[in-house]
């Protein structure tokens, strides 16, 4: 039989990146349901759904009712208690006041101070404020609604930075460390770059996987929460030969 002709090519091993890939999704960095701490009727909603807020911005305002008058009364009682206590101290210096009377005056003064502080807190709680900068993603109440203590005024999402989370297989978890660089491709076509923030220490009992969180910049808030992503994490290099599949065929 005649020998077959073949082609020969010399190839050298090169360093190729080794990566860990996993399915992921985008999430807010923080999300909180801002709730009322006192009961009252809503008289103002300064921020609409989808609006941006800064720390301390008012998102719900409750009716004051008699809370301002209660504070004024508490301040008046405090002024009277302060005068009584100061007078008791002056009488003590002249030997005309007992220690018991002075202690009673001090107790009334401290009680009055506590009443003023409580009244100020109740007045301040009329304004439900944003705990951090973010976006009002949900607002289940309207002006005129009556809120009980613990009712939700709004849900605020912190989307900058944005969180990208996925589940790591137990065979890969030892290769990933906090601070590692991460690439993510979203289903919408965007490509993101971020950094590993957290790798879970305790695996899921069913899947035996570990939660991984990475942070990516989102200063213009163009990226949304809940998007599907493909996360890729470089974990080193390996020596390998590049052999085209067509040669094997």
> 125 near 147, Cβ under 8 Å?
no
* Order of strands across the sheet that contains 58-62: 127-129, 58-62, 40-44, 146-147
pLDDT in tens, the chain (249 residues): 888 888 888 888 999 999 999 999 999 999 999 999 999 999 999 999 999 999 999 999 999 988 889 999 999 999 999 998 888 887 776 666 677 888 888 899 999 999 999 999 999 999 999 999 999 999 999 999 999 999 999 999 999 999 999 999 999 999 999 999 999 999 988 999 999 999 999 999 999 999 999 999 999 999 999 999 999 999 989 999 988 888 777
Alpha carbon distances (Å) from 153 to 25, 91, 148, 149: 27, 53, 10, 11
Q: Three-state DSSP class for 12?
A: coil
Q: For residue 91, how many other CB atoms are within 10 A of its CB?
A: 15
DSSP β-bridge partners for residue 185: 191, 230
């Amino acid at each position: 039989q005649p020998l077959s002709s073949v082609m020969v090519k010399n190839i050298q091993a090169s360093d190729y990146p080794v990566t860990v890939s996993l399915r992921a999704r985008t999430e807010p960095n923080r999300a909180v349901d801002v709730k009322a701490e006192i009961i009252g009727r809503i008289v103002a909603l300064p921020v609409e759904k989808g609006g941006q807020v800064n720390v301390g911005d008012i998102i719900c305002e409750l009716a004051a009712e008699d809370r301002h008058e209660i504070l004024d009364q508490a301040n008046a009682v405090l002024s009277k208690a302060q005068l009584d206590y100061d007078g008791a101290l002056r009488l003590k210096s002249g030997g005309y006041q007992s220690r018991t009377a002075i202690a009673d005056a001090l107790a009334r003064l401290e009680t009055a101070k506590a009443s003023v502080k409580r009244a100020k807190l109740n007045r301040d709680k009329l304004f439900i404020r944003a705990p951090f900068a973010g976006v009002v993603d949900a607002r289940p109440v309207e002006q005129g609604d009556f809120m009980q203590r613990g009712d939700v005024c709004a849900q605020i999402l912190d989307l900058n930075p944005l969180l990208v989370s996925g589940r790591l297989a137990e065979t890969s978890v030892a290769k990933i460390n906090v601070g590692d660089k991460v690439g993510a491709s979203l289903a919408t076509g965007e490509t993101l770059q971020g950094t590993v923030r957290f790798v879970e220490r305790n695996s899921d009992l069913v899947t035996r996987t570990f939660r991984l969180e990475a942070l990516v910049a989102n200063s213009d808030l163009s990226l949304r929460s809940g998007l599907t992503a493909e996360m890729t994490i470089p974990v080193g290099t390996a020596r390998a030969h590049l052999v085209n599949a067509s040669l094997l065929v």
